[in-house]
Chain A
Amino acid sequence: MPTFDSDRAAKLHRELHSHLPSDPALRVKTLESLAVERGLVAPESIDAWVEAYSEHIGPKRGARVVARSWLDPAFRERLLDNAAEAIKDFGFQGAATGHLKAIENTDDQHHVIVCTLCSCYPFAILGMSPAWYKSSEYRARTVREPRAVLKEFGAVIPENVAVRVWDSTAELRYIVIPQRPSGTEGWDEEQLASIVTRNSMIGTERDLNTEAL
């Protein structure tokens, strides 16, 4: 027979209203507070990263880099030679990105990037990676059957165009420089940047759409 237990009722009431965070949220909170307490990380650096990658750092950075490489041959040469140095022109360098290599699509060569180990990505110029980039299917199949994967993204690569897959690592990451589409003669850097998509800089898109404006 149920009995009224005021302590138990009060406890139940507190629990119902406690809004206890989810299990993963509690795991992160636990790790973060222990790491901060031991002086391993500063809470401000965690907050700054979250704000930067939630609000500010995204693929528009990479688009600007690509647009400049189309307009400025000297910049293009520096970018292909040492991309990590060249993007400092924009203040885009990021320690987390490490070394960066820019690889340029041509009429007979298409490039696509992947991280077969985990999810290494040029965060400092493309922001957070898309969900599919982290999937085990993309990581496994892009190496095995790149043309089939690209086709699923809508990029049908002609047989006479070679496809090269670049496997990112913690120390070396890549950005694809897509080809400048025809019909963009006379455009300025901002106009050009507006048609450069994130996927084209990963390589899962090949032909940029000039009507995207």
Chain B
Amino acid sequence: MKSHLIYGKVILFQPDDPFSPPEPVFDEAWQAQALALANSMVQSGHLTNTDWAEALGAALKVAERDNAPDTLDTYYGAVLNALETLLENYAGISAESRQQRRADWEAAYRNTPHGSPVEL
């Protein structure tokens, strides 16, 4: 299903076109990786399905309250917010440690010659 542009606003809710060709399941690799991370946390017993559903539900409510557009970007943004909250609450991964790690990754991307694998 494609989202539709109406008056410049992206509208997600649109029943799919039965004649359209099959589409990739994920638009971006990071979307799959984010859901995979949540699933792996459940599989490894660090979270329950309910922890995940409640955190995602809360993040989606915040997005709705803020009048975020009803799009996949908003949905996956909520997925990321929920993951950050859960990892902070259940594993003590603070905003500061995230900032530091992200800076490390950005530096690694900048300093790695194009074409080589980026590693920390």
For the complex formed, measure the closest distance between the CB of A58 and the CB atoms of chain B, giving whole angstroms: 8
Contact B33 A138 (CB under 8 A): no
| Interface secondary structure of B, over-half rule | helix
Chain A residues positioned under 8 Å from B97 (CB to CB): 34
Provided the pairs A96-B49, A132-B16 are in contact, do residues A28 and B111 lie with their beta carbons within 8 angstroms? no
Give how many A-B residue pairs fall within 8 Å (CB-CB): 176
Contact B53 A19 (CB under 8 A): no
Q: Is A24 an interface residue (CB 8 A)?
A: yes
Provided the pairs A33-B105, A42-B44, A117-B57 are in contact, do residues A53 and B32 lie with their beta carbons within 8 angstroms? yes
Contact B44 A45 (CB under 8 A): yes
List residues of A (31-60) whose CB comes within 8 Å of B's CBs.
31-35, 38, 40-42, 45-47, 49-50, 53-54, 58
Chain B residues positioned under 8 Å from A213 (CB to CB): none
Provided the pairs A96-B39, A128-B26, A170-B50 are in contact, do residues A136 and B80 lie with their beta carbons within 8 angstroms? no
Chain B residues positioned under 8 Å from A153 (CB to CB): 15
Residue of A15, A25, A35, A131 touching B1 (CB-CB under 8 A): A131
List residues of B (91-111) whose CB comes within 8 Å of A's CBs.
91, 93, 97-98, 101-102, 105-106, 109-111
Chain B residues positioned under 8 Å from A34 (CB to CB): 87, 93, 97-98, 101
Residue of B40, B70, B76 touching A137 (CB-CB under 8 A): B70
Provided the pairs A29-B105, A132-B16 are in contact, do residues A40 and B91 lie with their beta carbons within 8 angstroms? yes
Contact A136 B60 (CB under 8 A): yes
Residue of B13, B15, B43, B98 touching A30 (CB-CB under 8 A): B98
Contact A50 B32 (CB under 8 A): yes
Roughly how many angstroms separate A22 CA and B105 CA in the complex, as a whole number?
12
Provided the pairs A20-B109, A24-B30, A28-B30 are in contact, do residues A134 and B75 lie with their beta carbons within 8 angstroms? yes
Count of residues in A whose CB is under 8 Å from the partner chain: 58
Chain A residues positioned under 8 Å from B13 (CB to CB): 132, 135, 137-138
Contact A45 B40 (CB under 8 A): yes
Q: Mark B1-40, 1 if CB is under 8 A from A, else 0.
A: 1010000000011111000000011101110111111011
Contact A170 B80 (CB under 8 A): no
Contact B64 A136 (CB under 8 A): yes
Q: List 25 A-B contacts (CB under 8 A).
A: A21-B30, A22-B28, A24-B34, A24-B77, A25-B29, A28-B30, A28-B80, A29-B105, A31-B34, A31-B83, A31-B87, A31-B93, A35-B40, A41-B44, A49-B39, A49-B40, A50-B33, A95-B43, A96-B39, A118-B56, A118-B57, A132-B1, A136-B63, A136-B70, A170-B53
Closest 8 CB pairs between A and B?
A: A170-B53, A170-B49, A137-B13, A117-B57, A49-B36, A41-B40, A25-B30, A118-B56
Q: Which residues of B contact A (CB under 8 A)?
A: 1, 3, 12-16, 24-26, 28-30, 32-37, 39-44, 46, 48-50, 52-54, 56-57, 60, 63-64, 70, 72, 75-77, 80, 83-84, 87, 91, 93, 97-98, 101-102, 105-106, 109-112, 114, 120
